[in-house]
Amino acid sequence: MSSKLFLLFQYIAFLSVILFQLEPRVADSNKIVVRCIDEEREALLTFKQSLVDKYGILSSWGREDGKRDCCKWRGVRCSNTTGHVKVLNLRRSDDENARMKVLKGKISPALIKLHDLRHLDLSNNHFGGSPIPKFIGSLNKLRYLNLSSGTPSVPHQLQNISRLHFSNIENSNLFTMGTVEWLSNLSSLRHLDLSCINLTKSSDWFLVVAKLQSLKTLVLRSCALPPINPSFVSHFNLSTSIETLDLSDNHLSSSSVYPWLFNLSRNIKHLNLGYNQLRGSIPEAFQDMVSLTFLKLPSNELEGGIPKFFGNMCSLNILNLSINKLSGQLSELIQNLSSGCTMNSLEGLYLHDNDITGPIPHLGGFSSLKALKLGKNRLNGTINKSLSHSFKLETLALAGNSFTGVISEAFFSNMSKLQKLDLANNSLTLKLSHDWVPPFQLKRLYLASCKMGPHFPKWLQHQNQLLVVDISNNRISDTVPDWFWDLSNDIYSINLSKNHMNGKLPDLSLRFDGTGIGGTCIDISSNHFGGPIPPLPSNSQILNLSKNKFSGSITFLCSIGENTWNIFDLSSNLLSGELPDCWLHFNSLSTLHLANNSFSGKIPKSIGFLQNIQTLSLHNNRLSGELPLSIKNCSRLSVLDLGKNALFGEIPTWMGESLQNLIVLSLNSNKFHGNIPFQLCHLALIQVLDLSLNSISGKIPKCFNNFSALTQERSFDPTIGLGAYVWVPPGIVDHISYLDNVLLIWKGSENEYKSTLGLVKFLDLSSNKLCGAIPEEIMDLLGLIGLNLSRNNLTGPITPKIGQLKSLDFLDLSINQFSGSIPSSLAQLSRLGVLDLSYNNLSGKIPLGTQLQSFNASVYAGNLELCGLPLPNKCPDEESHPCPGRDDNANTTEDEDDQFITLGFYVSLFLGFFVGFWGVCGTLMLNRSSRYGYYNFLTGMKDWLSVTAAGRSGMARIMSLVFRVLI
């Protein structure tokens, strides 16, 4: 179930192909006036009544004069001779601008009156996964049925059906089906699609499908297919009439697919085995698939290059080998593709997310090439010459490589068909003159980090069909011209972040409201925009205005009313005044980020209406008063950051009881007093608990070992909670439940993704009035990476058990009253990068060990009876002090390496956190391959990363960085 979201996109794309084929070709009979049959009109109206049509999809349906001819209603087609309704097609539009518009409700049995119905398609709407109504079995002329998300128990009468879609993409949970025996009766079946229905328990699927000898199309996408019994394969063959086979996202391995796949060979045209576990090099046996038109093998673990015979696949249109482990020089791969007729047929070449190196060779010979995606490889060199003859190119995506050089207008002069351009995150410089009129009309433009500044790219003025524009991080220090905001009616993602743009923003609510755009995503963060926040569109999904100079109050939010906002980030501006108290309208918010402003007054009660909120940060404002009890209702909260305010009162006991999803809780730098309530120990998922800089007194509760996430050295899931909302695609608000699944796609993938917030584990109780000993239970928190108990009044010895905390990088026990000697087990903490034991009552010799001596003497200062290296005062037995042994030396070097690794670890950790924490607009979610977009973003962060790593600032600095962002 790796990538529901990705599949959804694919699915939509796939359906559009099908629809195109099926759209009834009703003859244009504008002369013949066919009035529909009264009974059928009434039946349709009854059907309409049981639906919830919020978007007026069926507004053409009615009894009024001028509407009476039901044959002219949307989705209805009649026979031009008899007038009977033959087609009812209310499938949700795939149009990007209409994705939110769905029908809900019940499917009325009134449809049974449409005796002549042949084609019924209600797919992609929200009929709540209700079973396929029995009555549909009586529609015995039906040839095509698509209810997508119905429950498959097929009425027996459906024997004549030739196309059957039961796909279940609407539901986040796979519906599990038992035996599929019933299918074998459908002998005329030519098209079968059971996507997203869990067939794990249908071990007979192969046998049954093998009986369907007329089958031309078999789509079993995301079906959790059980392994095929090898003995079946030798006795039953799938129909060799199959032309389209889609078994993507099924965890299939090479050995389970290849044996029977290559039996089908000759007739197969479309083959999709993406999102499986195919390993090794691309098998020679594909050579026999002489009719192959579409070959899609993305997201497997294929290695090596492209075999030579691919050059002679004369029908091949689309070759998608993206997200694999292909390697070698691109020129060699292309060479193999260019040896024969494939050069003329190939329209789409997708090799992104591999490990391919070298420059792009000249591609002029690929005369049909429309789409070229090479992003996220290790390609370099210049791109000017190799692509100059690509007249037909519609999609050019090269992001995330190391291409260099200057791109000027000439590069685009032959690309009049270009619709998607993605050059983001290379080392390219785009020099396009002010008066340039591009030969293309783009729909998607991704030019992050292309050094286009300092002027705003005026040529954009000619791009009036844009859906997505990303010109982030381009050193643009200019005002945004007014025309930009009116550029295109359909634009739904704008990313201007990380520039130096200035000026005031116009009324954005006028620009982006109304026209049916589902979910706008606006990211103008990290610029110099100022003045009051402009009126904002209520149908937005992501609004990131952070890190600017907006000022004034935000009480205007109350006039926005109901909205679809999902991520709202105003952090790091100059905003002030009280927080508005109208959060009821904002209940789709999953992230509210108001940190680093000057908001004052109390946290309003209505904040409790944010029932979907996962991240709430009010950090570093001037908020005062007690926490409102209503926050209790925000039970999905995984990050609650109220640090650096003037909040007071006791830490509420309900926090531990009601907010059990908390992963990060920060109340630091406030005026909280009283004890740490033991109820807090219910926060089993907590990974970062920061109560520092308050007036909390009493003892540390013994139950801290209930923090189970902290007791684990490994993280359950590096992406817990936080990454989630980043993947909400605009316009598909209803599919938020897909998120968890989407996240899994990265789980198996190494590199950047393993270090995300899930790995930060930190406990900070410093600068309070805690007393008593450190409970031994804290030493069970084996996953702790940072522990700060400094500046309290803690007493007793440092328990030797501290040696258990092997992951510790940061340990601060300074300015307390700890006594006794330093346990020698402390020396076992080989990852320790920062240690502070100063100003306690520790005594005796500092244990000789690996790195305890390598710390600065100040780490031990203020402990009058402490002696030995690195302190200047010698212990009584110093005379016999031996030179450090050879082993010690070896260890020291190792440790230094280790420290460096851990530094990098933090940097990447921070990075991961950053990804999770901030709403990342646009690019990310709009790319077909989400991983790809994620990567783009990551590479955008690379500069920052190398600066930080190169500076190699101390651990503490990194930690504070981590937490400053966190906070």
**What's the CA gap between 577 and 622, in Å, rounded?**
10
CA distances in angstroms from 684 to 680, 716, 777, 781, listed in the order given: 9, 12, 14, 12
| By the rule CB under 6 A, 226 interacts with ligand NAG | no
Query: Site map for ligand NAG, 477-516, x if CB under 6 A?
Result: ----------------------------------------
User: Is the distance from CB of 912 to CB of 718 less than 8 angstroms?
Assistant: yes
User: Is the distance from CB of 907 to CB of 962 less than 8 angstroms?
Assistant: no
| By the rule CB under 6 A, 29 interacts with ligand NAG | yes
Total residue length of the chain: 967
With a CB cutoff of 8 Å and minimum separation 6, the contacts of 247 are 218, 220, 221, 223, 225, 257, 272, 273, 276
Q: Would you say 70 or 921 has its CB closer to ligand NAG?
A: 70
| By the rule CB under 6 A, 174 interacts with ligand NAG | yes
| CA 138 centroid distance within chain | 44
Closest CA to 782 of 692, 709, 686: 709
Find the binder of ligand NAG among 16, 80, 214, 408 (CB under 6 A). Answer: 80
CA angle 882, 885, 889 (to 5 degrees): 130
Q: Would you say 81 or 893 has its CB closer to ligand NAG?
A: 81
Amino acid identity at 593? H
Q: How far is the CB of 193 from ligand NAG (least distance, A)?
A: 17
Q: Would you say 148 or 572 has its CB closer to ligand NAG?
A: 148
CA distances in angstroms from 924 to 296, 298, 569, 936, 940, listed in the order given: 22, 18, 17, 8, 12
**What's the CA gap between 596 and 548, in Å, rounded?**
11
Q: How far is the CB of 79 from ligand NAG (least distance, A)?
A: 5
Per-residue exposure over 54-82, b if at least 16 CB sit within 10 Å of its own CB, e if not = eeebbeebeeeeeeebbbbbebbbbeeee
Q: How far is the CB of 203 from ligand NAG (least distance, A)?
A: 12
Q: How far is the CB of 176 from ligand NAG (least distance, A)?
A: 4
Q: Would you say 228 or 959 has its CB closer to ligand NAG?
A: 228
How many Cβ atoms are within 10 Å of 178's Cβ, its own excluded? 12
Closest CA to 57 of 98, 87, 95, 23: 98
User: Is the distance from CB of 933 to CB of 3 less than 8 angstroms?
Assistant: no
**What's the CA gap between 132 and 716, in Å, rounded?**
39
DSSP-derived pairing of the beta strands 51-52 and 371-373: unpaired
**Cis omega (within 30 of 0) for bond into 870:** yes
Phi, psi for 268 (deg, rounded to 5): -70, 130
Find the binder of ligand NAG among 224, 334, 356, 536 (CB under 6 A). Answer: 224
**What's the CA gap between 612 and 485, in Å, rounded?**
30
Q: Would you say 249 or 641 has its CB closer to ligand NAG?
A: 249
| CA 175 centroid distance within chain | 24
Find the binder of ligand NAG among 771, 875, 945, 956 (CB under 6 A). Answer: 771
Q: Would you say 29 or 953 has its CB closer to ligand NAG?
A: 29
Q: How far is the CB of 768 from ligand NAG (least distance, A)?
A: 10
**What's the CA gap between 306 and 328, in Å, rounded?**
10
User: Is the distance from CB of 665 to CB of 688 less than 8 angstroms?
Assistant: yes
Q: How far is the CB of 430 from ligand NAG (least distance, A)?
A: 19
DSSP-derived pairing of the beta strands 76-78 and 85-89: antiparallel
Phi, psi for 277 (deg, rounded to 5): -125, 45
Q: How far is the CB of 567 from ligand NAG (least distance, A)?
A: 28
| By the rule CB under 6 A, 81 interacts with ligand NAG | yes
With a CB cutoff of 8 Å and minimum separation 6, the contacts of 612 are 587, 588, 589, 590, 636
Q: Looking only at residues 373 through 412 of this chain, which bind ligand NAG when binding is defined by CB under 6 A?
A: 380-381
**What's the CA gap between 165 and 150, in Å, rounded?**
9
Query: Site map for ligand NAG, 273-312, x if CB under 6 A?
Result: ----------------------------------------
Q: Would you say 381 or 862 has its CB closer to ligand NAG?
A: 381
Lookup: tokens for 433: 């003159």
Q: Would you say 27 or 33 has its CB closer to ligand NAG?
A: 27
| By the rule CB under 6 A, 946 interacts with ligand NAG | no
Q: Looking only at residues 185 through 214 of this chain, which bind ligand NAG when binding is defined by CB under 6 A?
A: 198, 200
| By the rule CB under 6 A, 611 interacts with ligand NAG | no
| By the rule CB under 6 A, 675 interacts with ligand NAG | no
Q: Looking only at residues 306 through 365 of this chain, which bind ligand NAG when binding is defined by CB under 6 A?
A: 357, 359
Q: Would you say 247 or 869 has its CB closer to ligand NAG?
A: 247
Q: How far is the CB of 692 from ligand NAG (least distance, A)?
A: 16
Q: How far is the CB of 486 from ligand NAG (least distance, A)?
A: 41
Q: How far is the CB of 675 from ligand NAG (least distance, A)?
A: 14
Q: How far is the CB of 76 from ligand NAG (least distance, A)?
A: 14
Q: Would you say 816 or 825 has its CB closer to ligand NAG?
A: 816
Lookup: tokens for 482: 């007014």
Q: How far is the CB of 850 from ligand NAG (least distance, A)?
A: 33
Find the binder of ligand NAG among 27, 410, 883, 950 (CB under 6 A). Answer: 27
Q: How far is the CB of 820 from ligand NAG (least distance, A)?
A: 15
Phi, psi for 891 (deg, rounded to 5): -60, -40
Q: Would you say 293 or 792 has its CB closer to ligand NAG?
A: 792
User: Is the distance from CB of 399 to CB of 446 less than 8 angstroms?
Assistant: yes
User: How many CA atoms are closer than 13 Å to the CA of 748, on its beta-carbon side?
Assistant: 15
**What's the CA gap between 49 and 63, in Å, rounded?**
13
Q: How far is the CB of 180 from ligand NAG (least distance, A)?
A: 14
Per-residue exposure over 718-740, b if at least 16 CB sit within 10 Å of its own CB, e if not = bbbbbbbbbbbbbbbbebbebbb
Q: Would you say 198 or 621 has its CB closer to ligand NAG?
A: 198
Q: Would you say 86 or 190 has its CB closer to ligand NAG?
A: 86
With a CB cutoff of 8 Å and minimum separation 6, the contacts of 918 are 525, 544, 546, 569, 593
Q: Would you say 45 or 771 has its CB closer to ligand NAG?
A: 771
Q: How far is the CB of 793 from ligand NAG (least distance, A)?
A: 4
Q: How far is the CB of 326 from ligand NAG (least distance, A)?
A: 16
Span interacting with ligand NAG, options 79-87, 442-450, 669-677, 917-925, rule CB under 6 A: 79-87
Judged by CB under 6 A, the number of residues near ligand NAG is: 19
Query: Site map for ligand NAG, 38-77, x if CB under 6 A?
Result: ----------------------------------------
Q: Would you say 345 or 795 has its CB closer to ligand NAG?
A: 795
Q: How far is the CB of 601 from ligand NAG (least distance, A)?
A: 32
Q: Write the Ramachandran bin of 834: left for phi over 0, alpha for psi from -120 to 50, otherwise beta.
A: beta
Query: Site map for ligand NAG, 725-754, x if CB under 6 A?
Result: ------------------------------
Q: Would you say 357 or 414 has its CB closer to ligand NAG?
A: 357
Find the binder of ligand NAG among 344, 413, 737, 793 (CB under 6 A). Answer: 793
Q: How far is the CB of 192 from ligand NAG (least distance, A)?
A: 19
Radius of gyration, alpha carbons of the chain = 32
| Contact residues: ligand NAG, CB under 6 A | 1, 27, 29, 79-81, 174, 176, 198, 200, 224, 357, 359, 380-381, 769, 771, 793, 795
